[in-house]
């Protein structure tokens, strides 16, 4: 968990310019971390590259929080 979580956290911090402490598992990208829809698309693209997997548009739409992304990556990587 921790390794994936740390890598996701690093990318979210870089991409959205938020504080590390804000990137909790429950944090919602749009509501808590100030991401707009383009930011989310970009995050997905970057996570795909980082973890070398493909997140379908359908799945990407369902992911709203940091924890959900981490779970998704762990179950698909």
Partner 1 sequence: MAMWDLTGKTALVTGASRGIGRAIAVALAEAGADVAVNYAGSEAAAAETVKAIEALGRKAVMIKANVGKAAEFENMVAAVLETFGKLDILVNNAGITRDNLIMRMKEEEFDEVIETNLKGVFNGIKAVTRSMMKQRSGRIINISSVVGALGNPGQANYVAAKAGVIGLTKSAARELASRNITVNAVAPGFIGTDMTDKLPADVKEKLEKDIPLGRIGRPEEIAAAVLYLASDASSYMTGQTLHVDGGMYM
49 is catalytic: no
71 dihedral zone (left: phi>0; alpha: psi -120 to 50; beta): alpha
45 binds partner 1 (CB under 8 A): yes
Task: Please give the Cα distance from 31 to 75 (Å, whole number).
Answer: 25
Q: How far is the CB of 48 from partner 1 (least distance, A)?
A: 10
Q: Report if residue 32 touches partner 1, rule: CB under 8 A.
A: no
> Angle at Cα 20 formed by Cα 1 and Cα 47, nearest 5°?
55
Q: Does 42 bind partner 1 (CB under 8 A)?
A: yes
The contact set with partner 1 (CB under 8 A) reads 36, 38, 42, 45
């Amino acid at each position: 968990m921790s390794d994936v979580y740390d890598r996701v956290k690093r990318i979210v911090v870089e991409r959205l310019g938020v504080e590390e402490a804000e990137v909790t598992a429950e944090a919602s990208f749009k509501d808590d971390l100030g991401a707009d829809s383009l930011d989310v698309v970009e995050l997905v693209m970057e996570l795909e590259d980082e973890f070398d997997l493909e997140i379908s548009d359908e799945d990407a739409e369902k992911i709203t929080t940091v924890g959900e992304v981490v779970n998704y990556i762990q179950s698909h990587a």
